[in-house]
Amino acid sequence: NAGVTQTPKFRILKIGQSMTLQCTQDMNHNYMYWYRQDPGMGLKLIYYSVGAGITDKGEVPNGYNVSRSTTEDFPLRLELAAPSQTSVYFCASRPGQGAGGANVLTFGAGSRLTVL
Amino acid sequence: GNSVTQMEGPVTLSEEAFLTINCTYTATGYPSLFWYVQYPGEGLQLLLKATKADDKGSNKGFEATYRKETTSFHLEKGSVQVSDSAVYFCALSGAQKLVFGQGTRLTINP
């Protein structure tokens, strides 16, 4: 039972480059989320999805894009990377409303991104 | 909107000391409340939760009681261990999203 899998674990980008952080879950969860965690800080929500084909912005969506073509996958795209996007990124998922444990998030191990 | 406020860290204690990490919230309706823990180099994991007023969540010796009258969900442990060193996040459930506090870094010295 893999849970939430994120790749890559580490990545260094140059300013202006683009990349995609991958997130896959095998729990058939409807809801998926992307957070960023800056050093010594809490979590900020970037984007979330309540099901395949549906995405919505969180607190800090600028500079990012997402898609949700399947229930399992929720990739996060960084366009034109900037030093301000240096952070640790966490993907998380949870079941839909009405399911057991509906509000409990399962997190991935994180992807550490450095933009130089 | 919904919000969570945690006591600022870092918190440093000696082994076997009593721990309290304060958490207060602002919310409409009746949210569920959570404590998540993040060990070094890892993602967050659920520590405990409470789904209605006066519920007590507990796990691994940690406890927190959902107090609607004081809008609080303070985390307590009677005797901390070095292995409890981590960052602790209080959170509440909104309609579609969880709202997290800023986290409290806890260090336990032997």
**Quick one: residue A101, left, alpha or beta (phi over 0 = left, psi -120 to 50 = alpha)?**
left
Q: pLDDT-based confidence at B98, cuts 50/70/90?
A: confident
Q: How confident is the model at residue A101 (pLDDT cuts 50, 70, 90)?
A: low
The reported pLDDT for the residue numbered B7 is 83
pLDDT of residue A95: 87
**Cβ separation of B44 and A108 shorter than 8 Å?**
no
Residue B63: the pLDDT is 98
Predicted confidence at residue B40, as pLDDT, reads 87
Cβ neighbours of A95 (radius 10 Å) = 17
Contacts of B102 in chain A (CB under 8 A): 41-42
- Interface membership of B14 toward A (CB under 8 Å): no
Pairwise CB contact (< 8 Å): B98 & A90: no
What's the pLDDT tens digit per position in B3-33?
A: 999 988 899 999 999 999 999 999 988 899 9
d(CA B91, CA B102): 9
* CB atoms B43 and A110 under 8 Å: yes
Rounded to an integer, what distance in angstroms lies between the CA atom of residue B104 and that of residue B4?
12
State which of A35-39, A50-54, A97-101 shows the largest mean pLDDT. Answer: A50-54
CA nearest A25: which of A74, A68, A59, A88? A74
Mean pLDDT of chain B: 93
Q: Is 90 exceeded by the pLDDT of residue A98?
A: no
Can you tell me the mean pLDDT for B55-67? 97
Pairing outcome for strands B98-100 and B3-6? unpaired
DSSP result, B26-80 = E-SS---EEEEEE-TTS-EEEEEEE-STT-EEEETTEEEE-BTTTTB--EEESS-
Cross-chain Cβ contact B98/A103 below 8 Å:
yes
What distance in Å separates the CA atoms of residue A105 and residue A17, rounded to the nearest whole number? 31
The string of pLDDT tens digits covering residues A43-66 is 899 999 999 999 999 999 999 999
Residues of A in contact with B103 (CB under 8 A): 41-43
CB < 8 Å to A56, chain B:
96
- Least confident range from A21-30, A90-99, B47-56: namely A90-99
